[in-house]
Amino acid sequence: MARALLIIDVQNDFTEGGALGVDGGAAVAAGVTELLRSHPDRYDLVIASRDWHNDSDDNGGHFAQDAAPDYVTTWPVHCVSGTRGAEYHPALDESLIDVHIKKGQGVPAYSIYEGTADDGRTLTRVLDDAAVTDVEVVGIATDYCVRASALDALGDGRGVTVLTDLIAGVAAESSERALHELRAAGAVVTPLVE
């Protein structure tokens, strides 16, 4: 049995000042780094996802081009590959990450499970290769990509814990709904217990 940390989309465009910045995003970045530095043996594997969108198209309708974004299925341009917005927030120590997952790349993608590692493996394969049975989930945004990733991890047969002090959401109401949904689906939703 092994445990992994899934760090969801702690990128410049999703933190304060970014194209889709959420309040508390920078604090999540710093908090995740502090967790990993102060508990270097807590996880057998640390995996981080990034939105990594094309700059030459609407990414399968994900980017609003001909109308204003509806912030449900269409969004302002964000996390375009090779731009500062797509990079990890500087407070997240990239050297502590074992596996990088890129998602999007021409299509809408919310869950870390929709991406692939730099070597082409799916997340399921990465976790299986390391015999990971349980994951802890942190990152941005609670009500979108954290929610989708945690639900997919449950569907993948993993034990899932969402660390509530290391997530940030778009809106309080939708974030609370997402956490309620995750609890109902079988996830443990709790602050970090050290």
Distance CA 39, CA 52 (A): 29
CATH of domain 8-129+141-190: 3.40.50.850
Identify the three-state secondary structure at position 100: strand
Per-residue model confidence (pLDDT) at position 130 = 97
For residue 137, give both structure tokens.
Answer: 């989930």
Catalytic site residue 79? no
Is pLDDT at 12 greater than 90 in this prediction?
A: yes
pTM for the model: 0.92
Identify the active-site residue in 9, 13, 51, 143: 9
What are the backbone angles phi and psi of residue 95, rounded to the nearest 5°? -70, -15
- Local confidence band at 110 (pLDDT 50, 70, 90 cut-offs): confident
Residue from 80, 72, 132 nearest 104 by CA: 80
Residues near 43 by Cβ (< 8 Å), separated by ≥ 6? 3, 4, 5, 36, 136
Catalytic site residue 9? yes
- What are the pLDDT digits (tens) for 150-177? 999 999 999 999 999 999 999 999 999 9
- What are the pLDDT digits (tens) for 32-79? 999 999 999 999 999 999 998 777 666 666 666 777 776 767 667 778
Identify the active-site residue in 13, 103, 143, 152: 103
Catalytic site residue 102? no
Identify the active-site residue in 13, 102, 143, 145: 145
Alpha-carbon distances, residue 46 vs 16, 59, 181 (angstroms): 24, 28, 25
Distance CA 159, CA 128 (A): 13
